[in-house]
Amino acid sequence: MDFLFIQFLNGLSSASSLFLVASGLSIIFGVTHITNFAHGAFYMLGAYVAYTLTEAWMGAIGFWGGIIVAAGTVALFGALIEIILLRRIYRSPELFQLLATFGITLIIEDLVIQVWGAEDLLGRRAPGLDGAIDIFGQAFPTYELVLIALGPICLCALWLLFNRTRWGVLVRAATQDRMMVSALGVNQAWLFTGVFTLGVFLAALGGAVQIPRDAVHNAMDLQIIVEAFVIVVIGGFGNVLGAFLASFIIAELNSFGILLFPKISMILMFIVMALVLVVRPYGLLGKAETHARTALGNVVRPLAPLTRKAKNWVLAALLVFLILPIFADDFVLNVGSEILIFALFAASLHLMMGVGGMVSFGHAAYFGLGAYGVALLVKFLNMPMEAAIVIAPLLAIAGAIIFGWFCVRLSGVYLAMLTLAFAQISWSIIFQWDDVTGGDNGLLGIWPSEWASNQQAFYYMTLVIVIAALYAIRRIIFSPFGYTLRGCRDSLLRADAIGIDRLRIQWFGFVLAGSFSGLAGVLYAYLKGSVFPDYISIPLSVDGLVMVLLGGIQTVAGPIIGAGVFKALSTIIISHTEFWKIILGAFIVILVVAFPQGIVGFFLERFGSKEEDIAEEKQ
Amino acid sequence: MKSKLDVHGLNSYYGGAHILNNVHLKANASEVVALLGRNGAGKSTTFASLVGLVERCKGSIIFDDQEISDKPTHEIIRLGLGYVPEDRRIFTDLTVEENLLVGKQDERDGVRGWTEEMLFTLFPNLAEMRHRPGGQMSGGEQQMLTIARTLMGNPSMVLLDEPSEGLSPKIVEEMANAILEMKKHGLSIIISEQNLHFARLISDRAYIIEKGEIRYEGTMADLDKNDEIKNAYLAV
């Protein structure tokens, strides 16, 4: 009993930091609609800066002063990023802002290593609070009690800010309808900067107060960002009280889960999130998403069939791929196969999010299931490649059928987070089920058939399959089913009103996208000769998003070109420098600012079809 | 006499679609001008264009001797051009008082300002529900709140987009009185309406817009006598 109570208190003290980070994330999303992926990085920066300051400044004032100054410094840094970068892209699609903050995350991750080194850093204890007090005969660190109080104190402070100050009321108003706020004479730009700064301050504070508890290290950001997202989703986006409740739930879940279900402790929060979303699609205290009102006159460019000029480009590209083996060595062919595979992966993700309007943060799930499908068929049935390529995607399809059934019942960020939850659950199963999946060691020895075993033959096989699949995806997009799917994306209400069973349509679209992703995974397993849990992990899902957004979500060719550019770039950068994260991050940020419509969207805008030109001239 | 607002050659686009075509519009100080037209004629787009809410929009908009067409929305509003949108857009989570607080701006030189109490006198219903969330108000109450909220910005001119839409006859009458009261206060008002009934009660002059073009302008009294024009552009 005593032990359980201590465990409960431990949960409470973790809840405080989680709440600080999650509430910041939630407030930023509520007003600016930015899904701030860099929030974890700001948390990490807060911890690092606080480490440096508290080492330099002595005494209790030095310690607490250091923590506050650290949070303030990082908040100013956040404000700078908002003013210099984010302000330029508020008019871009919201996912682009996510991409930009992802670029920032990469840069900060590398910077932290350059400045503070790769070693874990152990921070100083809080002066006067480094002891323990006796609770039911168990020693409980005094500092943890301070943390326990910190959460409710911050909640009260935020409540006062949002209910007792004009600025707070403006923030609440902007959360609901930011365009109307500016139509009442409020300068949105500074409101956004203020909100972003406040959010970053909370994240950095959450990180800074961690230093007496945990080592400061350079992977803190990913761990916390995922937890924070889960909390915000469970609590309801933009809802601070919801974030508070959810932080408590998740922290206690982590605290007790490790005792009760050690095997699945890592994914307990995802299971809880999935359950919450099934029962309450907008989180515990969230409200139905009001459709974001964009500025009048913003129109999505509809997907158009290829023009003659574009067809020539496609043929030229095909020709290049066909004759590549004549002058390329094995390494280049290997990279070429990989690019083709990821082009299919990105195209399948685009089918889901660009055409189906269902953004997936967990698209690697189907890729990984396809890859593991092959591995299991080879390992247990010794199945030849020709049969495995056909049968293995069924595992991905099965996954997509089950996960999709739940996901299509949600929309927007909530749907995206549920896809992430399912991907993490799949990852965890593969990671933990050593006997079957090999766990962390993966499964090795998945080789193609004799005839496809040299690099050139495998390349051609990949080329044929990928081209056929891409062609099929294109046909689907321009089929009546594709039009229906796009209709559901553009207006669920109208789709309902004309008698479309939109759940069924979206479910089918989801499964189709999942199966193409699975096929890409199958090919990848044969290309690498092995499978690892990485194939189903969050970073791969993020890579997919980057590819689609980089190329441009509003075109069919975009994701394919995005995959090529991203894979080629990362291959080149990684092999030439150890600063690859900084360079890749900077590159992403520059692309987002320079090509807010994606690479392909940019070229369409510049060298678009004749009709567009006429429309331009009319002005 | 110099006009309060002078609009020339206003063109607006939604994507490739050309919505407004060389719209012109004038309003003098303390004048109530009606912008009449059927559903979809371009009334709301005209208002949204005036306050910088339409992304692609060209033309000259002179307000108080200043060109405002290239200014961002909040700056236009702060110059004293108030805007009350058609769909009201009350902050439903905020109370009446909080809604008014969002609209509050400093007083401008030469403009008679409004206080919360003056607005509660103008719209007595609101005074009885200061702490009620906007989401729990009736349509008429919301319409009054949205006008009061804009007046909190102490504008010298207000654009009212179909203020009588969807309201009961009794509320419409109250609304007309309130608008006349606002005029007495010194405000210039442009009001958009689909039909004459309400506009006739309060307007000095009228424009008729059809398919994004101004088709008629004149005094309200002249328009009221001109059955031909009324039948051509306003009859349902």
Query: Mind listing the pLDDT tens digit for each residue in A391-448?
Result: 999 999 999 999 999 899 888 778 888 898 899 889 988 988 888 898 888 999 888 8
Distance of CA A12 to the CA centre of its chain: 27
- Say whether pLDDT at A41 is over 90: yes
Query: Cβ separation of A615 and B72 shorter than 8 Å?
Result: no
> Which residue in chain A is spatially nearest to B20 when comparing CA positions?
A619
The pLDDT value given to residue A309: 82
Percent of chain B with pLDDT over 70: 99
Distance between terminal CA atoms of chain B? 36
Interior/surface letters A538-549, b for 16+ CB within 10 angstroms, e for the rest: bebbbbbbbbbb
pLDDT value, residue B236: 61
Q: How many CA atoms lie within 13 A of A573 on its CB side?
A: 16
Instruction: Give mean pLDDT, residues A125-148.
Output: 86
Measured between alpha carbons, how far apart are the two ends of chain A, in Å?
Answer: 76
pLDDT value at residue A219: 86
pLDDT in tens, A165-187: 999 999 999 988 889 999 999 99
SS3 string of A500-554? CCHHHHHHHHHHHHHHHHHHHHHHHHHHHCEECHHHHCHHHHHHHHHHHHHHCCC
Q: What share of chain A is helix, strand, coil (3-state, %, to 5)?
A: 75, 0, 20
Longest dimension (CA), chain A: 82
* Span of A337-346, A397-406, A418-427, A508-517 with lowest mean pLDDT: A418-427
- Compute the distance between CA of residue A437 and CA of residue A433 in angstroms, rounded to an integer: 6
Q: Half-sphere exposure of residue A109, counting CA atoms within 13 Å on the CB side?
A: 24
Q: How far is CA A177 from CA A40, A181, A464, A471, in A?
A: 27, 7, 49, 42
Nearest CA in chain A to B44: A296
Quick check: A285 and A242 in contact, CB under 8 A? yes
Whether residue A292 is predicted with pLDDT greater than 50 in this model: the reply is no
The answer to whether residues A81 and A218 touch, using CB atoms and an 8 Å cutoff, is: no
Kind of pairing, strands A443-444 and B5-14?
A: unpaired
The per-residue pLDDT for range A45-59, each reduced to its tens digit, is 999 999 999 999 988
DSSP per position, A168-188: HHHHHHHHHHHHHHHTTT--H
- Mean pLDDT over residues B141-164, rounded? 95
Report the domain count for chain B. Answer: 1
Percent of chain A with pLDDT over 70: 95
Contacts of B86 in chain A (CB under 8 A): none
Q: What are the C-alpha distances in Å from A152 to residues A68, A212, A547, B193?
A: 18, 20, 41, 51
Cα angle value B117/B119/B124 (rounded, 5°): 90
Contacts of A295 in chain B (CB under 8 A): 53-55
In this predicted structure, the answer to whether residue A611 has a pLDDT above a threshold of 70 is no
Q: Mean pLDDT throughout A487-516?
A: 91
Locate tokens 């420098």: which residue? A577
Give the residue-averaged pLDDT of A14-25: 94
Phi, psi dihedral angles at B171 (to 5 degrees): -65, -40
Tell me, what DSSP letter sits at residue A266?
Answer: G
DSSP secondary structure string, A309-352?
HHHHHHHHHHHHHHHHHHH--HHHHHHHHHHHHHHHHHHHHHII
- Across the interface, do A295 and B56 touch by the CB < 8 Å criterion? no
Average pLDDT over residues B216-223: 91
CATH 1.10.3470 residue window(s) in chain A: 308-618
The DSSP 8-state label assigned to residue B163 in this structure reads T
Residue pair A551/A598 in contact by the 8 Å Cβ criterion: yes
pLDDT at A432: 85
Domain that holds residue B64: 3-233
Among the partner-chain residues A177, A180, A184, the one whose CB lies closest to the CB of B153 is A184
Tell me the pLDDT band of A131, cut-offs 50, 70 and 90. Answer: confident
Chain B stretch 199-218, residues whose beta carbon is closer than 8 A to a beta carbon of chain A? none
The more confidently predicted of residues A498 and A94 is: A498
Mean pLDDT of A314-335: 89
- Please tell me the predicted confidence (pLDDT) of residue B212: 93
Question: Which H or E run contains A93?
Answer: none
Contact B98 A172 (CB under 8 A): yes
On whether any CB of chain A is under 8 Å from the CB of B102, the answer is: yes
Q: Band the pLDDT of A482: cuts 50, 70, 90.
A: very high
Q: Which of A78-87, A580-589, B76-85 has the lowest mean pLDDT?
A: A580-589
Indicate the residue of A176, A297, A299 with minimum beta-carbon distance to B91. A176
Task: Please choose, from the candidates B112, B36, B47, the residue with its C-alpha nearest in 3D space to the C-alpha of residue B76.
Answer: B47
How many angstroms from the chain centroid is the CA of residue A442? 24
A172 touches chain B (CB under 8 A): yes
Model confidence band, residue A257 (pLDDT cutoffs 50, 70, 90): confident
- At residue A587 the predicted structure's pLDDT band, cuts being 50, 70 and 90, is confident
Give the CA angle between residues A415, A421, A422 to the nearest 5°: 95
SS (H, E, C) A149-164: HHHHHHHHHHHHHHHH
- Give the nearest partner residue to A181 out of B13, B48, B102, using CB atoms: B102
Q: Rounded to an integer, what distance in angstroms lies between the CA atom of residue A288 and that of residue A303?
A: 29
By C-alpha distance, which of A607, A591, A558 is closest to A354? A558
d(CA B191, CA B198): 10
Q: What is the pLDDT of residue A246?
A: 96
So what's the pLDDT on residue A301? 62
CATH for A308-618 is 1.10.3470
CB B95 within 8 A of CB B128: no
CB-count exposure of residue B21 (10 Å: 0-12, 13-18, 19+):
middle
Q: What is the pLDDT of residues A186-225, one digit of tens each?
A: 999 999 999 999 999 999 999 999 999 889 998 898 889 8
Residues B102, A295: C-beta atoms closer than 8 Å: no
Give yes or no for residue A462 having a pLDDT over 80. Answer: yes
Asked if A169 has any chain B CB less than 8 Å from its own CB, the reply is yes
Question: pLDDT, tens digit, for every residue of A241-254?
Answer: 999 999 999 999 99
Q: For chain B, say whether A173 makes contact (Cβ under 8 Å).
A: yes
Given its phi and psi angles, is residue A147 left (phi above 0), alpha (psi -120 to 50 degrees) or beta? alpha
Q: Is B78 on the interface with A (CB under 8 A)?
A: yes
Contact B93 A181 (CB under 8 A): no
Interface residue B150 vs chain A (CB under 8 A): yes
**Model confidence at A296, in pLDDT bands (50, 70, 90)?**
very low
Question: What does DSSP assign to residue B153?
Answer: T
User: For the domain that residue B224 is a member of, what is the CATH number?
Assistant: 3.40.50.300
Among positive and negative, which fits the CA dihedral A317, A319, A325, A328? negative
Find, in chain B, the residue whose alpha carbon is nearest to that of A301. Answer: B15
Residue with tokens 């956040």: A78
- Measured CA to CA, the distance from residue B51 to residue A464 in angstroms comes to 55
What's the pTM value of the predicted model, to 2 decimals? 0.85
Report which DSSP code applies to A216: B
In this structure, the strands spanning B32-36 and B56-63 are: unpaired
**What pLDDT sits at residue B232?**
84
B22 close to A (CB below 8 A)? no
Q: What would the mean pLDDT of B119-140 be, rounded to a whole number?
A: 93
Distance CA(A525)–CA(A189), nearest Å, equals: 48
Residue-level pLDDT at A300: 58
Place of tokens 């009334």: B43
Residue A293: predicted pLDDT: 40
Confidence of residue A580 (pLDDT cuts 50, 70, 90): confident
Q: Does residue A120 carry a pLDDT above 60?
A: yes
